[in-house]
């Protein structure tokens, strides 16, 4: 018996929709990164991009636990000397909430060419609408154990 290695024509990519309203940022990011890398499918191969597309809606309604919302800082570098820019979580959520979710998810992907290619399959939107209805995305639910404990 030989090992199955998927060829590019064997890979069928699905589209998934995640609703971020009221979800914890880290738990949302791990599920999205799992789908983007393809670890949820039986044809997963570490050195081949077998992942699916992910659409995240309501990025402005994501939450953090504890005091992270007051303490978390986002840093970026402009490329010029002395160009380190720092912004708090609260200010970045007010300005670009989609970037917060996007950075959390892409931070969990591989740091190489394949990880950057996987990140192109991620679409993050502020509101509850998206322009990808033609792809017939499947609604994805999160097993958020923190909310499950609170409800039971």
pLDDT of residue 1: 79
DSSP output for 127-141: SS--S-GGG-PEEE-
pLDDT of residue 145: 58
**pLDDT, tens digit, for every residue of 70-110?**
999 999 999 999 999 999 999 999 999 999 999 999 999 99
Q: Domain boundaries in the chain?
A: 14-143
pLDDT of residue 143: 76
Mean pLDDT of the 67-71 span: 95
pLDDT at residue 148 is higher than 60 = no
Mean pLDDT of the 1-23 span: 92
What's the CATH architecture for 14-143?
Answer: Alpha-Beta Complex (3.90)
Strand partners, 140: 18
pLDDT at residue 132 is higher than 70 = yes
The residue among 97, 87, 88, 89 whose CA lies nearest residue 125 is: 97
pLDDT of residue 144: 63
pLDDT of residue 2: 87
Q: How confident is the model at residue 152 (pLDDT cuts 50, 70, 90)?
A: very low
pLDDT at residue 54 is higher than 90 = yes
Quote the CA–CA distance of 35 and 54 in Å, as a whole number: 7
**pLDDT, tens digit, for every residue of 23-53?**
999 999 999 999 999 999 999 999 999 999 9
Q: 0.85 exceeded by the pTM? A: yes
Quote the CA–CA distance of 45 and 63 in Å, as a whole number: 33
């Amino acid at each position: 018996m030989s090992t199955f290695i998927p060829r590019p024509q064997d890979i069928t990519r699905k589209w998934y929709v995640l609703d971020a309203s009221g979800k914890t940022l880290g738990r949302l990011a791990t599920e999205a990164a799992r789908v983007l890398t393809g670890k949820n499918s039986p044809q997963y191969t570490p050195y081949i991009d077998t992942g699916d597309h992910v659409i995240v809606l309501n990025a402005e309604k994501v939450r953090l636990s504890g005091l992270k919302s007051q303490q978390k800082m986002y840093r970026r570098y402009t490329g010029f000397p002395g160009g380190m820019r720092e912004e708090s979580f609260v200010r970045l959520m007010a300005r670009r909430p989609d970037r917060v979710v996007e950075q959390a998810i892409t931070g969990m992907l591989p740091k190489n060419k394949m990880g950057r290619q996987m990140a192109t399959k991620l679409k993050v939107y502020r509101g509850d609408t998206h322009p990808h209805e033609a792809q017939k995305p499947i609604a994805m639910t999160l097993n958020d154990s923190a909310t499950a404990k609170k409800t039971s």
